[in-house]
C-alpha cells in the first residue's frame, strides 16, 4: 500500500462548551429550530468540508444555559485536538463558546462515560428588576424565600430514589430512578442558589423540582407534603415548572478528563450583591 493510500487515523475530540440557552431551542438538533448541537456541527463542517455528528453529555431544554457542557466528535483531519477550541471560537456566534478541547480515548463517550451532572438554579429576589441579571435568573420577589426550609426539603432527596413525580411527559427513558449525590440551597445577598448533582436527570426534572421547592420556601407547602409527593409519585400534584432561564448545566464529571479543572469546574460566575434597603 502506498503512502497516499494509508488510512487516516481517527481521533476523538472532547469539547467543553458554554452557551446562552435563551438564544436556543435546546441542545439537541431539531427541524426548523436553532439548537446548540446544530450550530456547532455546522461550524465543524465548515472547517472539515464534511458533515460531522457531535454527542453531548446532556440534552438541555430550550432556554437552559450551560457553563460547561461536554461533547465529543470524531475527526480524521490533521488538526491537533487542542487546537479545535480556538478554531471554532473564531467561527461560532457570540452566544456559544468552546472553553477547551482535547483528545480522549476512542471508547470515551461524552454521555455514557459521565459519572454525574451538576445543575445550578438562580433566583433573584430583590424587588427592583435588573437587565443584566434577567437572562440568567428567575426574578422571584413575590414572597420571601426561606432557604433553611428549602434545604430541609432537599435533604431526603439525597440517595437513589424513584423520582417520577419530577418527570415531564415525552421522555423516552424506561425508568425514573435517579441517584442524587448532592443538593444544596443557599443565599448570597439578593440571590438564592440551588445546586443539585446526580448520576443523571429526568426530562424536566430540575425545573419541576424547583417549582415545588419555591412553594416550600414561601410557606405555601410544608416540607412533609413536598416529601410525600415525590416519595409516593404523586405526579398530578406537581403542576408548575420553574422558568428555564434560571437553570444552568454547571459541569459534568468523569473518571479521567484531560482538560484542567479551571476550564470546566466552576465557570458560571455567582451573582452577588446586597438587597437595596429603603
Where is 69: in which H helix or E strand?
Answer: strand 65-75
Closest to 210 measured CA to CA, from 278, 134, 119, 131? 119
3-state secondary structure 116-166: EEEEEEEEECCCCCCCCCHHHCEECCCCCCCHHHHHHHHHHHCEEEECHHH
Overall CATH class of domain 9-104: alpha beta
Q: How far is CA 19 from CA 16, 23, 24, 44, 267, in A?
A: 10, 8, 9, 16, 12
Q: Is residue 61 annotated as part of the catalytic site, yes or no? A: yes
For the stretch 94-107, pLDDT in tens is 999 999 999 999 99
CA–chain centroid gap for 91, Å, is 23
Cα radius of gyration (the chain): 20
Whole-prediction pTM value? 0.93
Band of pLDDT at residue 230, cut at 50, 70 and 90: very high
CA–CA separation, 75 vs 26, rounded Å?
Answer: 25
Band of pLDDT at residue 2, cut at 50, 70 and 90: very low
Start-end ranges of CATH 3.30.70.580 in the chain? 9-104
Start-end ranges of CATH 3.30.70.660 in the chain? 116-254
104 three-state secondary structure = strand
CA–CA separation, 134 vs 264, rounded Å?
Answer: 24
CA–CA separation, 194 vs 211, rounded Å?
Answer: 12
Band of pLDDT at residue 271, cut at 50, 70 and 90: confident
Where is 87: in which H helix or E strand?
Answer: helix 84-89
For the stretch 62-81, pLDDT in tens is 999 999 999 999 999 999 99
* Cross-strand bridge partners of residue 183: 196
Residue scoring higher pLDDT (160 or 4): 160
Whether the Cβ atoms of residue 75 and residue 48 lie closer than 8 Å to each other = yes
* Cβ neighbours of 179 (radius 10 Å): 13
pLDDT given for residue 5 in this prediction: 54
Query: Considering all CA atoms of the chain, what is the largest pairwise distance in Å, rounded to the nearest integer?
Result: 81
For the stretch 104-145, pLDDT in tens is 999 999 999 999 999 999 999 999 999 999 999 999 999 999
Cell 471560537 identifies what position?
A: 89
C-alpha cell at 78: 490533521
Cell 437553570 identifies what position?
A: 247
**Catalytic one of 50, 61, 126, 174:** 61
Residues in the chain: 278
Percentage above 90 pLDDT, the chain = 90
* Cβ neighbours of 234 (radius 10 Å): 13
For the stretch 139-189, pLDDT in tens is 999 999 999 999 999 999 999 999 999 999 877 777 899 999 999 999 999
pLDDT given for residue 206 in this prediction: 97
pLDDT given for residue 211 in this prediction: 97
* 116-254: CATH topology: Alpha-Beta Plaits (3.30.70)
pLDDT at 272 over 90: no
pLDDT at 246 over 60: yes
C-alpha cell at 91: 467561527
Amino acid at each position: 500500500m502506498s503512502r497516499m493510500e494509508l488510512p487516516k487515523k481517527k481521533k476523538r475530540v472532547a469539547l467543553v462548551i458554554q452557551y446562552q440557552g435563551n438564544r436556543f431551542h435546546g441542545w439537541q438538533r431539531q427541524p426548523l429550530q436553532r439548537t446548540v448541537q446544530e450550530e456547532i456541527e455546522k461550524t465543524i463542517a465548515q472547517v472539515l468540508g464534511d458533515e460531522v455528528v457531535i454527542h453531548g453529555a446532556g440534552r438541555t431544554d430550550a432556554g437552559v444555559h450551560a457553563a460547561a457542557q461536554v461533547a465529543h466528535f470524531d475527526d480524521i483531519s490533521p488538526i491537533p485536538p487542542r487546537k479545535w477550541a480556538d478554531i471554532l471560537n473564531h467561527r461560532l456566534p457570540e452566544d456559544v463558546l468552546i472553553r477547551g478541547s482535547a483528545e480522549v480515548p476512542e471508547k470515551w463517550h461524552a454521555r455514557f462515560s459521565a459519572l454525574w451532572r451538576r445543575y445550578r438554579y438562580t433566583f433573584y429576589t430583590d424587588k427592583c428588576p435588573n437587565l443584566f441579571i434577567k437572562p440568567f435568573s428567575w426574578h422571584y420577589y413575590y414572597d420571601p424565600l426561606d432557604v433553611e426550609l428549602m434545604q430541609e426539603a432537599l435533604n431526603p432527596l439525597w440517595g437513589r430514589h424513584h423520582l417520577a413525580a419530577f418527570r415531564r411527559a415525552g421522555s423516552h427513558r424506561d425508568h425514573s430512578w435517579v441517584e442524587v449525590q448532592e443538593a444544596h440551597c443557599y443565599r448570597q445577598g439578593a440571590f438564592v442558589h440551588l445546586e443539585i448533582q446526580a448520576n443523571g436527570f429526568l426530562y424536566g426534572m430540575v425545573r419541576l423540582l424547583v417549582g415545588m421547592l419555591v412553594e416550600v420556601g414561601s410557606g405555601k407547602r410544608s416540607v412533609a407534603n413536598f416529601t410525600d409527593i415525590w416519595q409516593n409519585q404523586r405526579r398530578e400534584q406537581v403542576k408548575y415548572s420553574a422558568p428555564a432561564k434560571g437553570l444552568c448545566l454547571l459541569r459534568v464529571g468523569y473518571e479521567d478528563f484531560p482538560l484542567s479543572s479551571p476550564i470546566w469546574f466552576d465557570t458560571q460566575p455567582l451573582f452577588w450583591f446586597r438587597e437595596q434597603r429603603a
